[in-house]
Amino acid sequence: MTPTFDHLVKQLKKLPGLGFRSAERIALNVLVEKPENLTNLVEALESARLQVKRCSQCGNLSEEEICDICSDERRDVGLICVVEQVPDLVAIESSGSFKGQYHVLHGKLSPIKGVGPSELNLESLEKRISQGQCFEIVLALGNDIEGEATCHYIVDTIVDEHPLKVTRIGFGLPSGGNILYADQITLKSAMDGRRSYES
Amino acid sequence: MRISRLRLQTFRNISFVDLSFSGDIHFFSGKNAQGKTNLLEALGMVSALRSFRAHDINTIIKQGDRQAQMVYNIEGVGFKSAEVSINLKKKGKEIEVDGERISRFRDFIGSFPTVVMSSHDIQLLRGSPGVRRQWLNLVLASSNQSYYDNLRDYHRLLAERNSLLKKFAGSNEMKAFEAGLADKAVRLFKVRSDEIPRLQRHLKDAYLQISPEDENVKMAYKPDFEAISREGYLKQLEKSREKDRILKSTQHGPHRDDLDLGLEGRKARDFGSEGQQRSLMIALKIAQSRFVEESNGISPVLLADDVLCELDDLRKSNFWHALGKGVQVFATGTEIPNEDDGKKWQVFTVRDGTFTEAD
Ligand SMILES: [Zn+2]
C-alpha cells in the first residue's frame, strides 16, 4: 500500500504464527482503526526490550540478573528441572508439583531445523552442574523424537561423569506429547511418578 | 466392510456424483480417461488418505477448484455404519467420521481397509526394493498401529541423522539421534520378522488356489541389517558413520530392507512366465486382504483397476473361488464382463466424468 506500511507488514509477518493476512490486519488496526493503542504498544515493547531478559542462571524470563525462582531461598537448589520453553516452566509451576529450580533450554535439538547444541542454553547448565550443589536433574522435555534425543544428549554430554541422579518425568500422554498440553493433574502425577532415566 | 454409498465433488474430472451400491460387486465400464480409475482412486483414499497413483495430492483437486470432497457411507464389522467425509484442500486434509473431526490421522489410518489391484502391481516383482517395501509397510501399518508410529518416527529420525551427516556434526550429537533410531529399527525388524511368515502362509494358500500349475511360491524377508538388538544396530551405525558422512546418507537399516518373491526357489521376476507372474500378483493381493482381515477382523474392500478382464477363464474362476463370498469388489474395464461369469454385477457406464447405472 505505502512503502512504510508494507515494511511494517513484512516485519510483523516474521513473528511466529502470523501469516500475511493477519499481519496486515494488525498493521491496519494499530495505525488506522485503533491508533490510540499504538503509543501504549510501542512503550510496552520498548520497556520490555530494555527490562526483560533471560535469567543468567536458568534462562527463565527475568527483570533482574537472576530470576525470582532462582533467587527464592526456599527452593531446593539440589533439584534442577530441565524444560524446553518458558511456558513449560509456567505450566509446571502452576501445577505446584515441583519445589526445585529450573533450566530452560529455549528449544530442542533438531538438525533439520538447524538447531544444534550451540543454539540451546546448555553451556550454563553444564556450569551449574559442575558447581556441585545439584544432585538430581529432572528431564521434563516432550517425549517426541527431538525431545528424547535432547535428553540423550544432555545425559551423555553434559551430565557425563558427574555423580548425579537423572530422572525423566512420566507421561500420561501418547508418544509425541508436549508437556504444555497436559493438564495440572497429569503434570503433577508425571512429576511425582518420574523415573530414573535409562539411555 | 462394505461401501454402500459414495459422493464425490470436484474430484479430478468428476464434478459431482452420488452413487449408491447394491450387491457386492460393482463394475465401471467405459473408454480410457473417462473417470473410471478416478472413482477407484477416491474409494481407495478412505484407507490411508493416500492415492494409489498420485504422489501429489493437489492433482486430485479438479482444475480451477479449491477443494475436493469425498463422502463415504460404510457398513461393516465392529460398527453398524459410519459416514466418513474427507476434504482435500491445497493446504491439507480434513476428516470427519460421523460428524466428528479426526485431528490425528494415525487414529484413522487402517480403520477402513481397501486392497488395490492394478497393472502397476507387476512392479512388485520387477521394480526396485522400494516398491516392495512400500507395499509391505502399507500392509503392516494397516494391521498394526504401533508399526505405523514406529515407521513414522524411524523416518523422522533418519532424516535428522542424514541432516547431521551433511553437516559433519560431532559424534555426541549423532549418538543422541542414533539412540532413538536404533529403538525404532529393532521394533520394525521384529514386526517384519514376525509378520512376513504369516503373510507368506496366506500367499502360499492363495497361490495354490489361483494358479492352475502346482508350484510353490515363496516370500522371504531380506533384511538389509538384522537389527535383532539395539546394541547391534548402534554398533553398525557407529561403524558406518564415516562412510555415511561421505555418502551423506545412512547406508544400512530397515529403510533398505527387501522382500524376496519367488517360485520354486527361483526369483519370480527372472523366471516366472507371464501367466505365473499374473497368478502371483493376484495371490499377493488376496493374501494381503486375508492378512488384514485376520489382524483387524475387518474384511477389506477390493479395488480392481483393469485387471480382471485380462485374466484367462480358469484364473478368473479361481480368483472368485479364492476370494470367497461377501467381499465387496469394485472393478473397472473397457468392456462389461460376460454374463457367463455367473456374476451379477452392478454396472455403471462412465463417460466424461459422469456415471450412469445400467439396467
Ligand atoms: Zn533463574
Q: How far apart are CA A104 and CA A120, in angstroms?
A: 9
So what's the pLDDT on residue B356?
92
Contact in structure between B227 and B182 (CB atoms under 8 Å): yes
Q: Do B180 and A111 touch (CB under 8 A)?
A: no
Give pTM, 2 decimals.
0.87
What ipTM was assigned to the predicted interfaces of this complex? 0.82
**Alpha-carbon distance values, B173 to A188, B102, B254, B261 (Å):** 31, 36, 22, 39
- Residue A126 contacts B where some CB pair is shorter than 8 Å: no
Q: Does position B78 have pLDDT exceeding 70, yes or no?
A: no
Residue of A nearest to B164 (CA): A111
So what's the pLDDT on residue B92?
85
Q: Say which range, A146-155, B107-116, B263-272, has the weakest mean pLDDT.
A: B263-272
Average pLDDT in the B204-211 region? 91
Average pLDDT in the A68-83 region? 96
Contact in structure between A162 and A129 (CB atoms under 8 Å): yes
Q: Chain B partners of A109 at a C-beta cutoff of 8 Å?
A: 173, 176-177
CA distance A89 to chain B (A): 24
Residue of B nearest to A157 (CA): B172
Residues 6+ apart with CB under 8 A from A169: A138, A139, A140, A179, A190, A191, A193, A194
So what's the pLDDT on residue B270?
66
- Residue A20 contacts B where some CB pair is shorter than 8 Å: no
Q: Do A145 and B179 touch (CB under 8 A)?
A: no
The DSSP letter of residue A180 is G
Q: Does position B209 have pLDDT exceeding 80, yes or no?
A: yes
So what's the pLDDT on residue B31?
86
Q: Does position B11 have pLDDT exceeding 60, yes or no?
A: yes
**What percentage of chain B reaches a pLDDT higher than 70?**
96
The three cell numbers locating residue B297:
477382523
Q: How far apart are CA A108 and CA A119, in angstroms?
A: 9
Torsional class of B18: left (φ above 0), alpha (ψ -120 to 50), beta (otherwise): beta
So what's the pLDDT on residue A149?
96
The three cell numbers locating residue A18:
502470523
Residues 129-148 of A with CB under 8 A from B: 145-146, 148
- Residue A149 contacts B where some CB pair is shorter than 8 Å: yes
- Interval between CA A70 and ligand 1 midpoint (Å): 4
pLDDT tens column, A113-154: 999 999 999 999 999 999 989 999 999 998 899 999 999 999
Average pLDDT of the residues of chain B: 90
Contact in structure between A126 and A59 (CB atoms under 8 Å): no
Q: Does position B337 have pLDDT exceeding 80, yes or no?
A: no
Q: Among A118, A145, A173, pick the best mutation site for testing chain B contact (most B Cβ within 10 A).
A: A145
Question: Structural domains in chain B?
Answer: 1-113+298-359 (3.40.50.300), 122-296 (1.20.1050.90)
Question: Structural domains in chain A?
Answer: 3-51 (1.10.8.420), 75-196 (3.40.1360.10)
Q: Chain B partners of A112 at a C-beta cutoff of 8 Å?
A: 159-160, 163
So what's the pLDDT on residue B77?
59
Q: How far apart are CA A93 and CA B46, in angstroms?
A: 44
> Residue B267's pLDDT band (boundaries 50, 70, 90)?
low
Q: Say which range, A134-148, A160-174, B57-71, has the weakest mean pLDDT.
A: A160-174
Average pLDDT in the B333-354 region? 82
pLDDT tens column, A4-52: 999 999 999 999 888 889 999 999 999 999 989 899 999 999 999 999 9
Residues with CB under 5 A from ligand 1 (ion): A 55, 57-58, 60, 67, 70
CA distance B65 to chain A (A): 21
Q: Chain A partners of B159 at a C-beta cutoff of 8 Å?
A: 112
Q: Does position B286 have pLDDT exceeding 60, yes or no?
A: yes
